Chains A and B, each alone.
Chain A
Amino acid sequence: MKANSIKCCLRLSAILMLVFSLAIHGDQEIPPASKLQDALSILKQGSMADRELAVNQLADLGASSLPILQALLDGKLFTLKSDTSLVIGIDNNHGYTLSDALTGSEKGVIERSAVTKINLTNNLRVALRKIIGQLQLSADDPAIRLAAVKAMANEEDDNTQSLLKARALIEKDEDVQQAINVVLLLKDMNSSDKLIRIKAIDLLKEQNNRDVANRLNAMLEKDETGNFIEADSEIRSVAKAALIKINSRLQIYSAMETVFFGLSLGAVLVLAAIGLAITFGVMGVINMAHGELMMLGAYTTYVIQQLMPNHLGISIILSIPAAFMISALVGILIERGIIRFLYGRPLETLLATFGVSLILQQSVRSIFSPLNRSVATPEWMSGSLQINDFLSLTWNRFYILVFCLLVFMLLLQILKRTRLGLEVRAVAQNRTMAKAMGIPTAKVDAMTFGLGSGIAGVAGVALSQITNVGPNLGQAYIVDSFMVVVFGGVGNLWGTLVAGFILGIANKFLEPFSGAVLAKILVLIFIILFIQKRPRGLFPQKGRAADS
């Protein structure tokens, strides 16, 4: 066994030398396609020594053989029993989806027993991992290079260091360059020269990098016998100072992240509450079916997506006007059919609209089933914006924040600049007077209610992107959105905006200490207490009119 492993090591270092020389010289004599074919045919011949040789040859071929090497490492490279051709197989429920290793062409699905996996020894696997890393380092895509550099940070090996140094000389991409620097400095921290180590720590403390933080942390820990892992006390103090600096930045970034989460939660709350603020503020109507109008918006998104499953992006965009129209229409129906008989009786309106909410919920349950539906997220909305190791912002939350602000601004403009807005404001301030001046209050009421409901529908589109769409979607948000309106002050859109963001951020800052549910309870209790102190919310309407 021992002799065998020594032999392996020798071979591996030979491979590495070869790759290294290739990376620098890059000679190409035989056409790569035939070389690839040769290598593959060696690979599928049974013995381990042959496989090492083949891996060597593949490594010589550069980045083009990366997919095969990766498949080999992941155990996805097979020989077909029927014609002994090499294939890459991706596991699905019934068998493997195959593609030809050489050409990459699709070869259909086959059952598991029809192929033989190409096995590897542990040593070969280690070597393969390294080769892949090195190949990736010279890949064309900077993202692949960046990932390779990061993977190398954890490898204790002089060769990687020299590889990275060589790459650093020719690397043009700034991020990759930066990452290489960090990895090299991390390696410098292992140096025997104390000065180099101190200098490395000094340089690294400016980096926003988790590996650096982890490494510094590890240096300051004690082993089982109670001695510091890092023996040198001077280096320990330097490391400690660096760590404090990094941690203080880490705190700032994590606070920024919490604020961002809070803002995005706030954006959802604002979207949910703002339609309510209009109907409640302008008409004094408590619409308990508001949540269900949001639910309708979310289901509209779902239906449109079902109609055009291959155009996710477009379907989302289309959903916005569609959801607005549907919810607005239902809203106008509710207003004309029920609420207009109940003006001046807010408590009765509350009960009747609650009845509507039950009917809407049950309808959706009957039509779509009581199970949750998931709405897919288009590519440009998934993933996250990686600012640095400590801070990344998810795109869907980011878009919802932007969307919320857009809707808010649009609504402000509608109320400020359009004829409808003028009439709405007039009716809100003095209904009798507005009527006397010839404003058709009944029509304004219907339009206002439609507007508020339409915005609920639009909010539903946004919600469908962050949560599952189900019949209970509306109920989950109705209490929250009422809280936002009441907290912000009725009849004040800016109040709703500020209140939504404050509540969102407060929620997210409380969560780490108390857990999500308790945070929500605490916020509810806070609002209950707050209304005692300021019954008219953060931004109350003033004047004599407010008294009545």
Chain B
Amino acid sequence: MKLIGLGDDKLAMTVLFVLAAVTFIIPICNLMLPADSALHFSAYTVSLLGKYLTFALLGLSLDLVWGYCGILALGHGAFFALGGYAMGMYLMRQIGTRGVYGDPLLPDFMVFLNWKELPWYWLGFDQFWFAMLMVVLVPGVLAFVFGWLAFRSRVTGVYLSIITQALTYALLLAFFRNEMGFGGNNGLTDFKELLGFNIQSEAVRAILLMLSGMALISAYLICRWIVSTKLGRVITAIRDQESRVRFLGYRVEMFKLWIFVFAAMLAGIAGALYVPQVGIINPSEFSPLNSLEIVIWVAMGGRGTLYGAIIGAVLVNYSKTVLTGLMPEIWLFSLGAVFVGVTILLPDGIVGLLKRRLQELQS
């Protein structure tokens, strides 16, 4: 919760340094070195790292609204999923005649459902620029409408958390429906090409990793800049004493809305980077559990620090990969234990712990 504290800069620099190394060295190694070199990473590792980085970006965006503005959004995964769907729709349209049914216009699932023409909301997604615009615009507009309604009528605290959860739950149910035209249960998958490049190829994967890392680093720097401005101080003030800020003449709802929309757009970008690397987007991304997991990444890393969210996201997801691989039953037990343990024993997260260690070392 401390805004300025000993060790913040040191830790942040370390995280940035590691990030930069992952972002640039691994992809360059993979692109330049032959496949049998010791420094050549497997396609699996590269995609996995890329996935972690998009999750870190997602965690970062949630830390902005929760750690700094005090809005515990339990539906943040919805924005991630929407960004992912926007990207998925572009990738679907790139399949063209290579689908199972070979329809030049309609994705396979629409042919399967006997649809005759493309729904209007699929138009334009064959254009990369349009899809990228939608990646930020769709989550942004949803966050704007929802936030406008919620913040203006001063829905706060747990009420807000619950209705954000209801929002993502409603979207989950909606996207499960075949009639929605987003592939229903199965979602969008079987992608072939991204901007004309084979999406399965190692080079594209390495570049996607690099892009994810660059997106994360720039998002981190932008977020850091935001919280260092006066606007950052206003949202921190809102987190601690919302009504007092109002009596200073600030329109609290506009500030919350601004930060909420911005974070939703970041989440959308994260989703768009995630989809080509895992090769699928389906409605389960909307499930309330996913959104709660994001919260625990941030809580575990240490909220209100930004780089803590990055640490938390990578750490929790790495454990998830390892544990679900070793013994799947253990994963939910440990995730549950992390939820309980972090809230009771580690309110400042790992970053808080590290900072205390650093302070001890210095004195």
- The answer, yes or no, to whether B272 is at the interface (CB within 8 Å) is no
Complex Cα distance, B153 from A68, in Å, reads: 73
Assess the B292–A354 pair: CB atoms within 8 A. Answer: yes
**Complex contact A362–B155 (CB within 8 A):** no
Q: CB of B170 within 8 A of chain A?
A: yes
Give CA–CA (A482, B161) in the complex, Å.
11
Residues of A close to B329: CB separation below 8 A: 362, 365-366
Neighbouring B residues of A475 by C-beta, 8 Å: 288-289
B187 within 8 A of A: no
* Min CB gap A487→B, angstroms: 11
Given known pairs A350-B72, A518-B177, the reply for A483 and B336 (CB within 8 Å) is no
Query: Is the Cβ of B170 less than 8 Å from the Cβ of A521?
Result: yes
* Contact of A352 with B292 in the complex, beta carbons under 8 Å: no
CB <8 Å contact, B339 and A355: yes
B143-166 interface code vs A (CB 8 A; 1 in, 0 out): 000100110111101110111011
Q: CB-CB < 8 A to A362: which residues of B?
A: 329, 332-333, 336
Q: Contacting chain B: which of A83-91, A453-461, A522-530?
A: A522-530
The interface on chain A, measured as residues whose beta carbon lies within 8 A of the other chain's beta carbons, has a size of 40
User: A532 near B: Cβ within 8 Å?
Assistant: yes
- CB–CB A352/B332 < 8 A: no
Q: Given the interface contacts A358-B335, A528-B149, does A342 sit within 8 Å of B170 by beta carbon?
A: no
- Within 8 Å by CB of B173, from A338, A341, A350, A521, lies A521
Count how many pairs of residues, one from A and one from B, have CB atoms less than 8 Å apart in the complex.
Answer: 120
Query: From DSSP, what is the main secondary structure of chain B's interface residues?
Result: helix
Q: Does B122 contact A (CB under 8 A)?
A: no
Asked if A355 and B335 sit within 8 Å, CB to CB, the answer is yes
Query: Given that A355-B338, A528-B167, A532-B152 are contacting pairs, would A482 and B72 also be in contact in the complex, using a CB cutoff of 8 Å?
Result: no
Q: Across the interface, which residues of A come within 8 angstroms of B339, CB to CB? A: 351-352, 354-356, 358
Task: Check: B299 CB closer than 8 A to any chain A CB.
Answer: yes
| Residues of A contacting B333 in the complex (Cβ-Cβ under 8 angstroms) | 358-359, 362-363
Nearest CB of A to B153, in Å: 4
Contacting A535 at CB < 8 Å: which of B146, B154, B174, B338?
A: B154
Are A535 and B332 in contact, with the CB atoms below 8 A?
Answer: no
Residue of B nearest to A286 (CB): B158
Which positions 225-251 of chain A face chain B at CB distance < 8 Å?
A: none
Which of the segments B105-113, B215-223, B340-348 contacts the partner chain? B340-348
CA of A365 to CA of B332 in the docked complex: distance in angstroms? 10
Q: Is A338's CB under 8 angstroms from B344's CB?
A: yes
Cβ-based interface call for B176 (8 A): yes
- Residues of B contacting A517 in the complex (Cβ-Cβ under 8 angstroms): 173-174, 176-177
Contacts of B344 in A (CB 8 A): 338, 341-342, 352
A279 neighbours in B (Cβ, 8 Å):
none
Across the interface, which residues of B come within 8 angstroms of A525, CB to CB? 170
**Is the C-beta of A496 less than 8 angstroms from some C-beta in chain B?**
no
Q: A338: which of B149, B166, B340 is its contact (CB, 8 Å)?
A: B340
Indicate if B69 sits at the interface (CB-CB under 8 A).
Answer: no
A528 to B142, CA, bound (A): 13
Contact yes or no, A351 B343, CB < 8 A: yes
* A356, B292: Cα distance in complex, Å: 13
Is A198 part of the contact surface with B, judged by Cβ < 8 Å?
A: no
Chain A residues near B295: list those with CB within 8 A: 351
Contact assessment for A356 and B159 in the assembled complex, using a CB-CB cutoff below 8 Å = no
> Contact between A532 and B166 (Cβ–Cβ < 8 Å)?
no
Q: Is A65 an interface residue when CB atoms closer than 8 A count as contact? A: no
Known: A356-B340, A362-B332, A518-B177. A524 touches B166 (CB 8 A): yes
Interface assignment of A531: CB less than 8 Å from any CB of chain B: yes
- The answer to whether A479 touches B335, judged by C-beta atoms less than 8 angstroms apart, is no
* A-facing residues in B60-110 (Cβ within 8 Å): 72
Interface residues of B in 226-240 (CB under 8 A from A): none
Residues of A close to B149: CB separation below 8 A? 528-529, 532
Residues of A within 8 A of B165 (CB): 479, 482
Q: B340 contacts A531, CB within 8 Å?
A: no
Known: A356-B340, A531-B159. A479 touches B176 (CB 8 A): no
* Cα separation A341 to B338 with both chains bound (whole Å): 16
- Whether B258 is near chain A, meaning CB under 8 Å from some CB there, is no
Q: Which residues of A contact B341 (CB under 8 A)?
A: 355
Given known contacts A341-B344, A347-B161, A351-B299, A535 and B155 CB-to-CB distance under 8 angstroms: yes
A-B contact pairs, 19 of them (CB 8 A): A286-B161, A346-B157, A349-B343, A350-B161, A352-B339, A354-B339, A355-B337, A358-B339, A359-B336, A475-B288, A483-B166, A517-B173, A517-B176, A525-B170, A527-B163, A528-B146, A528-B167, A532-B149, A532-B152
Which 7 pairs, one residue from A and one from B, show the smallest C-beta to C-beta distance? A355-B339, A358-B336, A359-B336, A362-B332, A355-B340, A524-B170, A532-B153
Taking A351-B299, A359-B333, A532-B155 as given, write out 15 further A-B residue pairs in contact, using a Cβ cutoff of 8 Å, ordered by the A residue number. Answer: A286-B162, A351-B295, A355-B336, A355-B340, A355-B341, A358-B332, A359-B336, A362-B332, A479-B288, A482-B166, A517-B173, A517-B177, A520-B173, A524-B167, A527-B166
